[in-house]
Structure 1
Amino acid sequence: MSTLDVTPAPYRLTAKGVLRSEWHKLWTLRSTWITLLTASTMVLSVGIMMASTYDGDDSEIDTVVFVLYGTQLSQICLAVLGILFIAGEYSTGMIRASLTAVPRRLPLLWAKAGVFAAVAFTLTFVTNAVTFLVAQIWLSGSDKELSLTDSGVLGALTSSAAGITLMCLIALGVGALLRSVPGAIGAFIASVLILPGVLKMLPLDAVETAVRYLPSQAASSLGSVARVENTIAPGTALLTLTLWAAAVIAAASLLLKRRDV
């Protein structure tokens, strides 16, 4: 048989292949390494600073919350990375090649969300656990001395990582909706981080109750061994964040399917 008679194997698009492609895209970006390192360093540095300077004045604050103050900063870093992961392709024009390779479109967005969620959760959980253990070097013998095996500690570290991951998925969804890095960052910070504080100033009980179910407020009830006052229950908070993330990703999926690149 001559070489002219050989028919090339048809191109097969699989979910595994799309996931692998998005995994390589994420790790080949220089911004990924810089942002992840910065996020982890912030949590660890703030945790060490808080623990090494503790003098007993903050005894009423939950130990896990106390040593993980840095997650408030790392969350913003990871959210920006989530936006860059999707909206960055629109700014560079690479999205055309991506959608050509994945013509059905939706698996592309879902793969991005899955890959980024796995990376964000793993990094956040490991960073939380390391920060907690390192902080205990200074907190040993104080009223904030705890171990990973103490009741509620591992759950608090895990729920903190889960909450941050879901917030980052919301950011990724906003990036997919707006297709603009500056616009998505501004919209995320304004609507998710600033708006709840503004609404809480309104002297209305209904608004105060509703604000508790906004993403940033729901996330604030996570990452604590004891129940945080004036917040919804941790289980309810995780469900609330999951629904917010699912809604934003679903809206982004709908627009990705209907509009041109």
Structure 2
Amino acid sequence: MTTLAVTPTRVLRSEWHKLWTVRSTWISLALAAALTVGIGLAIGASYESGGGDSDVDVVLMTLLGMQFTSIVIGVLGILSTAGEHSTGMVRSTMTAVPRRLPVLWSKAAVLGVVAFAVTLVTNLVTFPLVQILLSDTDKAASLGDPGVLRALVGNAAGLALLGVMALAIGSLIRSVPGSIGVLISAVMILPEVLGMLPYDVIDDAVRYFPAKALDALTQAGPAPGTASPGAALLAMALWAAATLAAAAMPLKRRDV
């Protein structure tokens, strides 16, 4: 009987099949796309020139549904790691790949690519559809306008990195409810609370937190009090790398 060697390609293929054979993947991605398109169309249909939202960036306004889709993608990332611990499937995975860390890297790569691709396609569909409703308003724009395409791609990259962060949190905490609690409270609510404090140094730091960096990536034009797109993308990448490193240490050392 021939035993196949464990290679990075085989681990990647295994994690790819594992992700797509779970029903929650299809449900989460479909829900994320539906929320983005549906909320975008609702905003476009109700928008009036000169209203209270006239100063909001057109891409950020169109993709405002990301406030919900970020949670959906985050939960998908958590389920891909913490879900395996809750079902006990992780034991089979780590038996097949005893070095363990390639599993974490492969999970992160697969989820990141899938989340980026699905979100980008959704964004490229949503923006033109919403623009049909905004064509006679002061928010009329096209994909060729300065910064628009970059913001649509930046949003997809930011959400993909947020999903990788959530995946690492799930691997670190190993509990689905606990990981979701950390994701929502620490990643999404904490920056809003810190932003209320009257200290400039805190205000400067908060703009590089994941939720704020994602907002900066989703704007076609510069906005006061936000990071530049390049700095925001770097911040998201560093947050994802840091959480993956934090998840890797206990994964390597303790029992599954």
TM-score (norm 1): 0.95
Aligned to 2:27: 34
Unmatched segments (≥5 aa) in structure 2: none
| Greater mean deviation of Cα atoms: 164-173 or 82-91 | 164-173
Task: Please state how far the C-alpha of 1:162 moved relative to its aligned partner.
Answer: 0.7
Name which of 99, 111, 132 aligns with 1:116: 111
Matched, 1:152 2:119: no
Name which of 92, 102, 105 aligns with 1:107: 102
- Find the aligned partners of 1:247 and 1:137 in 2 and give their Cα distance: 41
Aligned to 2:14: 21
Structure 2 letter corresponding to 1:106: L
Aligned to 1:232: 227
Task: Please state how far the C-alpha of 1:218 moved relative to its aligned partner.
Answer: 1.6
Matched, 1:141 2:136: yes
Q: Deviations over 1:108-161 (max 9, x none)?
A: 010000000001000111111100011111111322111112221110100011
Q: What SS class does the counterpart of residue 217 from structure 2 fall into?
A: coil
Q: CA RMSD in A?
A: 1.1
- Find the aligned partners of 1:63 and 1:112 in 2 and give their Cα distance: 34
Task: Please state how far the C-alpha of 1:234 moved relative to its aligned partner.
Answer: 1.0
Matched, 1:211 2:219: no
- Find the aligned partners of 2:120 and 2:4 in 1 and give their Cα distance: 38
- Find the aligned partners of 2:48 and 2:34 in 1 and give their Cα distance: 23
- Find the aligned partners of 1:225 and 1:137 in 2 and give their Cα distance: 18
Task: Please state how far the C-alpha of 1:10 moved relative to its aligned partner.
Answer: 3.3
Structure 1 letter corresponding to 2:154: S
What is the number of equivalent residue pairs in this alignment? 254
| Greater mean deviation of Cα atoms: 22-31 or 50-59 | 50-59
TM-score (norm 2): 0.96
Q: Deviations over 1:47-75 (max 9, x none)?
A: 11111121111322211111111111111
Aligned to 1:165: 160
Matched, 1:177 2:133: no
Name which of 91, 113, 116 aligns with 2:86: 91
Aligned to 2:250: 255
Unmatched segments (≥5 aa) in structure 1: 1-7
Contact 2:60–2:215 (Cα < 8 Å) also in 1: no
- Find the aligned partners of 2:14 and 2:247 in 1 and give their Cα distance: 20
| Structure (1 or 2) with the larger CA radius of gyration | 1
Aligned to 1:9: 2
Aligned to 1:62: 57
Aligned to 1:4: none
| Identical residues among aligned pairs (%) | 52
Contact 2:142–2:148 (Cα < 8 Å) also in 1: yes
Q: Which runs of 4+ in 1 moved over 3 A?
A: none
- Find the aligned partners of 1:29 and 1:10 in 2 and give their Cα distance: 27
